[in-house]
Each structure stands twice: as C-alpha cells, then as structure tokens.
Homo-oligomer: A and B are copies of this chain.
C-alpha cells in the first residue's frame, strides 16, 4: 500500500521528485562541450560515438527539461529540427543569411540587460531569450542582382 507521507517537504501538488542519473549528466555535459547549437539527434550520435548507450528518447526528454529549466536555449534550424545550446556557453546571438546560411556572431551587452529587465519587470524569473537577425548577405545580394532577379 502507498505511503502518503507527502507533507514532509519536497513535493505535493507539483511534479514528482526529479532524480539524478548518469544519462542526464551525459546529455548536459555533451551539450556543454558542443560549440554552438546542436540537435537532439546530433547529441545522440555524439554520445553513442563516445560509448554511451543512451536512448534517443532520453536525449529528447533531457533536452526538453533543460530548456524548460532555463538551462538551455533552443532555436529552430532551417532543416526543421530544433537546436539546443547550453546557456552557459559564451552567450551571443546570430546574424543569419536567409539564402546561403552564412552566420555571424553578434554580441550586445545592452540587449542582454534589456531582455532580462523586461522579464523581471513583468514578474518573470529565470529569464532567457532567443534573438536572431536575418537578412541577405552581401554576396547573395549581388548574386541576385546580377542574375537579373533584382527588384
């Protein structure tokens, strides 16, 4: 029969208690090692390549948890898959070419502050953000113009 000793101190209406497992640690570590954004599938491959027998579903679950906990940021790739990045990684944003995919890293101290301030002002905690700028790079720009597809 079930023990109903709930009132002690760490769960009740909320979610059940989380457990620490080597799988979660592995995903977290792998995400940290990765440079830039990576997909769940990629991480799974990497982990297996390093000997882990972790399941794909677990990678997805862990990544989703990390994102929800604000420990990872996610982004949508052109290839219709979700990419993740550890939040600790030197934080920066991207300027991406809609045509060729060229990506430049952007830093903006003020922006970081602004984002956190907005969140805080509205009573939100553990703020994080997704900021990406898109456009057509100089190269693709001229390529288009030259080929007559101009304006």
A interface vs B, CB < 8 Å?
Answer: 9-15, 67-68, 70, 74-76, 80, 82, 95, 97-99, 104, 106, 108, 111, 114-115, 118-119, 122-138, 141, 143-144, 146-149
Contacts and interface: CB of A to CB of B under 8 A. Distances in A.
Q: How many copies does the complex hold?
A: 2
Given A15-B149, A124-B141, 19 more contacts: A10-B148, A11-B148, A14-B143, A14-B149, A15-B147, A70-B134, A70-B136, A80-B82, A95-B124, A98-B126, A106-B118, A108-B118, A124-B135, A124-B136, A124-B138, A125-B136, A127-B135, A130-B132, A131-B132
B134 A130 contact: yes
Contact of A134 (B104, B106, B129, B148): B129
Interface SS majority for chain A:
mixed
A97 B119 CA distance: 10
A99 B151 CA distance: 44
A125 B141 contact: yes
A14 B148 contact: yes
Given A68-B98, A119-B95, A125 B130 contact: no
